[in-house]
Amino acid sequence: MRPKILIVDDSVTTLLMEEMLLKKYTNFDVVQARNGEEAVKVALEEQPNLILMDVVMPKMDGFAACREMRRQEKLKRVPIILVTSRGEAENVEKGYESGCNDYLTKPIESNELVQMVNGYLGVEEGR
């Protein structure tokens, strides 16, 4: 079974771009959610191997979703990478305090994203 990545963003454009990148440069299945509340629900149902999540979203922001996922036994150990335009030091700190494993700022560098995803999922370069 191929690893599964959950991408979470309220921007359809960002979701499509990240999904295209992942499908082009990795061999992973991709599922999507449009806000933090939906992300928690989808993560519990789909059991992804990795989560890429925006911070600024309706209903529940990425920080709150990250905290909620860390409270769920099934999601405690799933790596979460926050992918956001909010690159200020206090937001990065808040992200790590919320339980994320890593923090990427937009605009995304495709190589950096693919390298980070592969690193978290234990995929060697060139595979």
Q: Which residue has the higher pLDDT, 127 or 115?
A: 115
Asked if residue 68 belongs to a domain, the reply is yes
- pLDDT tens sequence across 45-103: 999 999 999 999 999 999 999 999 999 999 999 999 999 988 899 999 999 999 999 99
Asked if residue 102 belongs to a domain, the reply is yes
> What is the DSSP secondary-structure string of 67-127?
HHHHHSTTTTTS-EEEEES--SHHHHHHHHHHT-SEEEESSPPHHHHHHHHHHHTTPPTT-
Asked if residue 62 belongs to a domain, the reply is yes
Domain containing residue 98: CATH number: 3.40.50.2300
Asked if residue 126 belongs to a domain, the reply is no
- pLDDT tens sequence across 102-120: 999 988 889 999 999 999 9
Residues 6+ apart with CB under 8 A from 91: 55, 84
Asked if residue 88 belongs to a domain, the reply is yes
Asked if residue 42 belongs to a domain, the reply is yes
Predicted confidence at residue 108, as pLDDT, reads 87
Asked if residue 72 belongs to a domain, the reply is yes
Owning domain of residue 58 = 4-120
Q: For the chain, what is the domain count?
A: 1
Asked if residue 75 belongs to a domain, the reply is yes
Reported as a pLDDT band with limits 50, 70 and 90, residue 125 is low
